[in-house]
């Protein structure tokens, strides 16, 4: 099964802290298995806020190894539907998060994240989270 990797996992994997080793290893294994999927909006989030131009270019080139998932109008419409469904239940989230959920449902992917919001979304939406724990 393909795995959509959320921004938080990419960020953890590219940091140098030793306590991120488990995330780096898990992402490395998924890459080796050819299972990683990247959304353009996640690419943008990962690259946003990089302070040095040198680091930005290095990260940009690293991410170029992963083509963006091709999304359709229907994916964006489903993301809006998911936003509305969750909002009616009092669950808030970012547009990118709901786009990840829509892509995961439409393309039968799991979502790899540490963002607890996705656990709340999963109570309402038919998403599957990649089973990972440290």
Q: What is the pLDDT of residues 23-73, one digit of tens each?
A: 999 999 999 999 999 999 999 999 999 999 999 999 999 999 999 999 999
54-63: long-range pairs with CB below 8 Å, 24+: 59/14, 62/14, 63/10, 63/38
Does residue 60 lie in a domain region?
yes
Does residue 34 lie in a domain region?
yes
H or E stretch at 111? strand 110-112
Does residue 96 lie in a domain region?
yes
- What pLDDT is stored for residue 133 in this prediction? 75
Integer Cα distance of 6 and 30 in angstroms: 13
Does residue 134 lie in a domain region?
no
Domain that holds residue 87: 3-129
Does residue 50 lie in a domain region?
yes
Question: What string of DSSP letters covers 30-42?
Answer: HHHTT-EEB-HHH
Does residue 92 lie in a domain region?
yes
Question: Order of strands, edge to edge, in the sheet holding 110-112?
Answer: 36-37, 3-5, 110-112, 128-129
Looking up residue 114, the CATH number of its domain turns out to be 3.40.50.1010
Q: Please check whether residue 121 is in contact with residue 131, taking contact to mean a CB–CB distance below 8 angstroms.
A: no
Does residue 125 lie in a domain region?
yes
pLDDT digits (tens, 9 = 90+) for 106-126: 999 999 999 999 999 999 999
Domain count for the chain: 1
């Amino acid at each position: 099964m393909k795995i959509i990797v959320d921004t938080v996992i990419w960020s953890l994997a590219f940091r140098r802290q030793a306590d991120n080793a488990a995330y780096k290893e898990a992402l490395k294994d998924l890459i080796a298995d050819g299972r990683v999927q990247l959304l353009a909006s996640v690419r943008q989030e990962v690259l946003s806020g990089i302070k040095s131009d040198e680091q930005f270019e290095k990260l940009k080139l690293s991410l170029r190894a992963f083509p963006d998932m091709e999304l359709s109008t229907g994916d964006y419409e489903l993301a809006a539907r998911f936003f509305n469904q969750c909002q009616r239940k009092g669950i808030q989230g970012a547009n990118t998060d709901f786009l990840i959920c829509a892509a995961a449902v439409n393309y039968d992917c799991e979502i790899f994240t540490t963002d607890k919001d996705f656990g709340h979304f999963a109570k309402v939406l038919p998403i599957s989270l990649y089973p990972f724990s440290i």
